[in-house]
Amino acid sequence: MPPSWNDYRKVIAKNGFRLERSGKHETWIRYDEQDRVTGQTRASHGNAEIADARFFRALLKQCGKTEKRFYEVLRGK
């Protein structure tokens, strides 16, 4: 079963991303200790499934996760 947008938000929040803006889409940004931006990704407001596998892989690349690690973090391991 493909992950939902809520699943994606949970994983990126655990990965140090913070919700910075919420307009048409949500903008999540990760900072280092010196407050420099180290990553940025976007998320949809809804909770639909992320059914397109290529799009999901692109999201994983943005947040620095492999698919295996994504599901481990989601399950709390």
Q: Which residues form the domain of 31? A: 5-72
> pLDDT value at position 67?
94
> Quick one: average pLDDT of 50-77?
93
8 contacts 43 by C-beta, under 8 angstroms: yes
Residues composing the chain: 77
Residue at 10 is within a domain: yes
Mean pLDDT throughout 58-68?
93
pLDDT band at residue 60 under the 50/70/90 scheme:
very high
Q: What's the mean pLDDT when you consider all of the chain?
A: 93
Q: For 48-74, what is the mean pLDDT?
A: 93
Q: Is the residue at 77 inside a domain? A: no
| DSSP-derived 3-state class of residue 13 | helix
CATH of the domain at 13: 3.30.920.30
Summarised one tens digit per residue, pLDDT across range 17-45 is: 999 998 889 999 999 999 999 999 999 99
pLDDT, greater one: 24 or 73: 73
Counting the structural domains of the chain, the total is 1
Q: CA–CA separation, 8 vs 60, rounded Å?
A: 9
